[in-house]
Amino acid sequence: MNKHWTGEKEYAIYLGEDKIVILEAALAGEELQVKRHLTLKNPEGFKHGLVVNLENAFSTLESLAESFFEMPYDRRGSFVVLGNPKLKAYSYSSSQYYQGAARQITSHEIRNIMSQTKSIATLPLSEHILQAVPESFVLNDMKDIRNPLGLEAERLGVNLKLFTMNFQDFRNIDRAFESAEIGVKSYFPKTMTTSEAVLTEEEKNLGAVLIDISGASTEFTLWRGGALQDMEICDKGENFLEEAISEKWEIDFPDAAKVKEKYASLEQEKNFEEELIPLIERNGKGSYSISRKVFQEAFLEIFKSWAEDILSRADRFAKKGEVHFPHYVFTGEGAQLHGFMEYLNRQFSRVARIGLARHIDAPNELLVDPSMAPVLGIVRWLNKQGRDQSRLLAPVSFVEKAQAWARDWFSNYF
């Protein structure tokens, strides 16, 4: 069972494809508030959110911990959000029948049906479960029950969403945190936390496709009827644009990334006059300049090709999930380009919006950055969804705890 918000300060860490973010959050009355945060871009030892050098990854996390945590005991427990191309989601269901008479549903029955569903889930052996979230329950013949506690039923079923990633990749991440002596309360996929941060309840109910553009990948998440229906990841993220710039002008990838960040724009009407862009050739051959107007025209063609593919994938994804008029919400690093939404509307006649974190008191640089939605989303999730899930799974009274212990003991030995 996952720990949830304690009402005191909590620490969250986001290990994304191109950054690590640590923040301290607390409840200020009824309001969630981010007290402090620290961001490290392109952390050593990591690539695309995965460990590629354990010693360097450990050193990076150790250095961040020493810089951020004020007291040694603050390292004891953080909630860690993972963002990488290895994330997956599966849905499984099962049910239990209670012979003889209807049974009052307690957290014991809910834990049992969730455990049973996980045990029969035919996941690939290479996958590690990060989170198991009950989406809805079935009581007798009634479907879509959100909270069955206290109700009576002869049959209890659950629709369980399992969020996973490759076990060996997860183990390397876990070892890096262990080596840095950073205690982890629980790992979360950004699939869960980003949706919590940026989507409205109306979008989740009516149907929405959340398009999260990271460096090496783009993640599509489909919501309908208030539940996450499906997700998929393609290996065509923001880096595709930088690789195209690198190939076209024969410059190294890091230099291409800098050129895109500083000069790329989707504002078609902007007048660049005679402005020049300095470029550095590969293999130390020297440097030269190109017209920004020429660069802009070429970049718009590159972006158009990339955007056509992303939108085509999003449309197919929505159609497969039987959502015919979805809300499209873009978030992540790739949604920060100047004129992003205006370009999509102008070029493709798409009505969409940028997904930013909502209903949280945080520094403005976090709130206006769509790539920060995963780490801000875990704060919202813990305070809302985490509490609700904890109520479902944790015995609350002494009598229920005693009953749960007795039932568990009986189940284990007879």
In CATH, what number is assigned to the domain containing residue 155? 3.30.1490.110
Tell me the pLDDT of the chain averaged across its residues. Answer: 89
The per-residue pLDDT for 287 is 76
The per-residue pLDDT for 389 is 75
The per-residue pLDDT for 283 is 61
310 found inside a domain: yes
20 found inside a domain: no
The per-residue pLDDT for 351 is 86
Within a 10 A sphere around the Cβ of 234, how many other Cβ atoms? 15
219 found inside a domain: no
CB 36 within 8 A of CB 23: yes
Single out the residue in 139, 167, 195 at which a domain terminates: 167
Single out the residue in 144, 167, 190 at which a domain terminates: 167
- 167, exposed or middle or buried, with CB in 10 Å at 0-12, 13-18, 19+? middle
The per-residue pLDDT for 1 is 41
Distance separating alpha carbons of residues 154 and 331, to the nearest angstrom: 44
State pLDDT tens for residues 330-342. 999 999 998 999 9
Residues 336, 246 share a domain: yes
The per-residue pLDDT for 128 is 96
Q: What is the DSSP letter of 124?
A: -
Please, what is the Cα angle at 207 between 201 and 210, to 5 degrees?
A: 85
337 found inside a domain: yes
The per-residue pLDDT for 101 is 82
Residue 286: give the domain boundaries.
239-352
399 found inside a domain: no
Distance separating alpha carbons of residues 57 and 228, to the nearest angstrom: 32
Single out the residue in 148, 167, 186 at which a domain terminates: 167
The helix/strand count (H/E) of the chain reads as 13, 20
The per-residue pLDDT for 6 is 58
Residues 163, 245 share a domain: no
158 found inside a domain: yes
Q: What domain count does the chain have?
A: 2
The per-residue pLDDT for 406 is 56
Which parts of the chain have pLDDT scores under 50?
1, 396-398, 411-414
The per-residue pLDDT for 73 is 83
Which CATH number does the domain housing residue 294 bear? 3.30.420.40
Distance separating alpha carbons of residues 266 and 259, to the nearest angstrom: 14
The per-residue pLDDT for 393 is 76
Prediction pTM value? 0.89
202 found inside a domain: no
Residue of 262, 265, 267, 266 whose CA lies nearest to 279: 262
Residue of 142, 175, 155 whose CA lies nearest to 51: 175
Q: Where are the beta strands (DSSP E) in 167-286?
A: 184-189, 208-213, 218-224, 227-234, 276-280
